[in-house]
Structure 1
Amino acid sequence: MLLSVNRHNFREEVLESSQLVFVNFWVNWSEECKQMKMLMKKLDSELEQGCKIVEVDWEKDHKLAEKYRVFGTPSLLVFSDGELVGQYSGTLNVNEFFEETNAWLSTNSKQEMMEN
C-alpha cells in the first residue's frame, strides 16, 4: 500500500528522506490516474530498497500541488535528498520509467559510496 502524504507530512516523508522519493499526484475519478496508481503499486513492490513511492490526492491538497506546479493529473515528481530532480505528466511508459529509475538509483548509490 502506498503512503498518502499531504502538506502536513510532506516535509518529513519526502523532503527529509534519504531515499529517492516518487510522489504521485492523482484524483480518484480519472482512469489515467487509476492506471498510474496500479503502476506505482507494482513499482513499489519491484523497486529496490533505497526509494519509496508516496501519493498525494490532488483535489484535497491544492496548495502542495501549486507549490510544485502540478496543474494536472496524473503527475509524478521525483525527489532526491529533498531536491526535485524529475517531473512527469500523464501516463508513463513503464520501460522508460524503469530505466530512468535504475539510473537515479545507481547515481544515488555511487554518491553514498563516495561519501562513506
Structure 2
Amino acid sequence: MITLTDENFDEHVLGSDKPVLVDFWAEWCGPCKMIAPVLAEIEAEYGDRVTIAKINADENPETVKRYGVLGLPTLNLYSGGEVVRQIKGAKPKRMLLADLEGHI
C-alpha cells in the first residue's frame, strides 16, 4: 500500500498506468480503521489490477481540498488521471467490490 502526500500524489496517482484507489483517512477516524483491513484484502487479491494508496487527510490538506473531500473515509478511484468513482464511508468488502465493478 502506497502512502501518499500532497507532494507525491500526482506522481503516484495521476501518473499511474493502472487504476488507483485512494483512501482519504485520519488517525482519529474510527470507520477509517475499520476499512483498512478490507483494503489490504482487496490489494492482496486485486493488486495486479489496481493500486491501493492512503493519504492522511489531516496532514495533506491541499489534496483534500483539491478533490473536495468533506467526510472520512472517502475512497476515490482514479483512472487515467480522473476520478471515476467516489465511495463515502466504510463498507463491507463485498459492497466495496460491487462499487468498484467495471473499473478494476
1:97 is displaced (CA, Å) by 1.9
- Alignment pair present for 1:97 and 2:96: yes
Structure with more of its chain in helix, by fraction? 1
Indicate the structure (1 or 2) with the bigger Cα radius of gyration.
1
Give the structure 2 partner of residue 32 of structure 1: 31
Aligned residues between the structures: 104
Give the structure 1 partner of residue 2 of structure 2: 3
Give the structure 1 partner of residue 19 of structure 2: 20
CA distance in 2, matches of 1:32, 1:82: 27
| Structure 1, unpaired ranges of 5+ | 106-116
CA offsets 1:56-83 (integer angstroms, 9 cap, x no match): 0010011110100001111100001111
Give the structure 1 partner of residue 54 of structure 2: 55
Q: TM-score, normalised by structure 2?
A: 0.92
- Alignment pair present for 1:77 and 2:76: yes
| Structure 2, unpaired ranges of 5+ | none
Q: TM-score, normalised by structure 1?
A: 0.83
Structure 1 stretches of at least 4 aligned residues deviating more than 4 Å after TM superposition? none
Amino acid at match of 2:102: A
CA distance in 1, matches of 2:10, 2:24: 16
The secondary structure found in structure 1 opposite 2:71 is: coil
CA offsets 1:29-52 (integer angstroms, 9 cap, x no match): 221010111211111111151210
The secondary structure found in structure 2 opposite 1:104 is: coil
What RMSD in Å do the two structures reach over aligned CA positions? Answer: 1.3
CA distance in 1, matches of 2:45, 2:53: 15
